[in-house]
Amino acid sequence: MKKIILFLCVLFLPGVTWADLTSVKKQDGTTEVTMTTLDALHIAGAMVDNGELDQAEQILTKMPSLGGGPLEIERWFLLGRIASMRGDFDVAIQIFRTILDAQPELARIRFELAICYMKTSQWGRADYQLRLAMAGKDLPDNVRQVMNYYRYIIRQNKNWNVWFNFGAAPDNNVNNATGGQECVMTIFGPLCRNLIEPESAVGFNLSLGGDYEFKLSDNWRWKSQAGVYSNIYNLHDYDDLYLYGASGPRYIWSRGDVWASAMMSRRWYGWEEYNWSAGAQLDINYDITNKLSAGINFQFLSNWYDYYSEYLDGETYSVFVDAFYSITPNIYATARAGLSREAAASSTYSYWMPSASVGIGAELPYGFNIFASPSIYWQLYDGDQWSVQNGTFTQVTERDFTQRYQLSVSNNKFDIWGFVPTVIFSYSRRDSNMWQREYDRWAVEFTMAQRF
The share of the chain scoring above pLDDT 70, in percent, equals: 91
Query: Which CATH code is given to the segment(s) 161-450?
Result: 2.40.160.40
| Long-range contact set of residues 215-221: C-beta below 8 Å, sequence gap at least 24 | 215/159, 216/249, 218/156, 219/251, 219/252, 219/253, 220/249, 220/250, 220/251, 221/159, 221/249, 221/250, 221/251, 221/252
Give the C-alpha separation, 226 to 249, whole Å.
15
CB 227 within 8 A of CB 209: yes
| Residues 107-164 pLDDT 10s | 999 999 999 999 998 888 899 999 999 998 877 888 888 888 898 888 887 777 777 8
Q: Fold match between 2-157 and 161-450?
A: no
User: Can you give the pLDDT at residue 12?
Assistant: 46
- The pTM score is 0.85
**Is the pLDDT reported for residue 196 higher than 60?**
yes
**Is the pLDDT reported for residue 179 higher than 50?**
yes
Collapsing DSSP states into helix, strand and coil, what is residue 291? coil
**Is the pLDDT reported for residue 358 higher than 90?**
yes
**Is the pLDDT reported for residue 61 higher than 90?**
no
**Is the pLDDT reported for residue 13 higher than 60?**
no
Q: What is the mean pLDDT of residues 318-341?
A: 97
Q: To 5 degrees, how large is the angle CA 113–CA 118–CA 120?
A: 100
Give the C-alpha separation, 157 to 160, whole Å.
9
Let me know how many helices (H) and strands (E) the chain has, helices first: 10, 18
Per-residue pLDDT band at 262 (split at 50, 70, 90) = very high
Give the C-alpha separation, 267 to 258, whole Å.
27
Which of 46-55, 109-118, 282-291 is the least confident region?
46-55
Per-residue pLDDT band at 9 (split at 50, 70, 90) = very low
The better pLDDT of the pair 13, 169 is held by 169
Domain boundaries, the chain: 2-157, 161-450
Which of 174-183, 240-249, 376-385, 394-403 is the least confident region?
174-183
**What does pLDDT average to over the chain?**
87
User: Can you give the pLDDT at residue 68?
Assistant: 67
CB 70 within 8 A of CB 335: no
Which of 165-179, 213-227, 283-297, 433-447 is the least confident region?
165-179
User: Can you give the pLDDT at residue 324?
Assistant: 96
Distances in Å between the alpha carbon of 4 and those of 22, 36, 145? 10, 11, 36
**Is the pLDDT reported for residue 410 higher than 80?**
yes
Q: What is the mean pLDDT of residues 267-280?
A: 95
User: Can you give the pLDDT at residue 63?
Assistant: 76
User: Can you give the pLDDT at residue 66?
Assistant: 66
User: Can you give the pLDDT at residue 16?
Assistant: 45
**Is the pLDDT reported for residue 232 higher than 80?**
yes
Give the C-alpha separation, 405 to 121, whole Å.
35
**Is the pLDDT reported for residue 62 higher than 90?**
no
**Is the pLDDT reported for residue 306 higher than 70?**
yes
Per-residue pLDDT band at 6 (split at 50, 70, 90) = very low
Q: The domain at 2-157 falls in which architecture? A: Alpha Horseshoe (1.25)
